[in-house]
Amino acid sequence: MATVRRHLRRTKTGKKVVVTRHRRKTKPKNPVPTIRKDERRIFNHLSNPRIYKKEYGGHIDFNKKGQIEEIEVIPGQMYGVDLYDSDFEALYHTHPSKYKNSPPSPDDIIALITSKNQQAELIFRDGIIFAIIKTPKTKVLEKMSRKELEKMITHWFDPDDEKTVQQELEELGFVVIRSKKDTKPIKLPGVKIVE
């Protein structure tokens, strides 16, 4: 263990103050996976409806430090992209919509719930992100059938109201991150790094 040196200094009033030098910085045990702002430009570009008229998607894999290790890019169709279940932390896809709101669809939410390996779903629309992250509270939903999930979600789903979709997902136990600032890094709390 490193020794910590302590020094006394006098302030202008003559009072002695203890000053600690060479403090060791503690590293977090479990780094939070993060999409840096320079990496976010990739997703901003792929989700630009003025450039691309179809969806793109794939998985995002993070290294032990919580930095992006691999991004897969799969082209899809106008309203969908076929993605597979694999060893990754998060899936993403774009919504090439010019509309103001384009929250995750009921199919997006159900796919996240029913995928055992997937911990998060990120939807990018013209630089805006809507991230849904599983928590221990959402484990209960995995036991429901697809039909039950569809009935429950379509009951409250409104494609024109992202705030309501966010509130309902949070009530189900998900962590939801909505960011309209396309230059901010995105932290994915609760996502565990899989090696």
Ranges of each domain in the chain: 29-187
Q: Which stretches in the chain have pLDDT values below 50?
A: none
pLDDT on residue 26: 64
pLDDT on residue 168: 92
Q: Per CATH, which fold does 29-187 belong to?
A: Cytidine Deaminase; domain 2 (3.40.140)
User: Which of 42, 51, 145 is closest to 96 using CA atoms?
Assistant: 51
pLDDT on residue 149: 93
Phi-psi region of 126 (alpha: psi -120 to 50; beta: other; left: phi over 0): left
pLDDT on residue 192: 87
Q: Please check whether residue 69 is in contact with residue 39, taking contact to mean a CB–CB distance below 8 angstroms.
A: no
pLDDT on residue 135: 93
- Calculate the alpha carbon distances from 184 to 46, 56, 159, 179 in Å: 17, 21, 25, 8
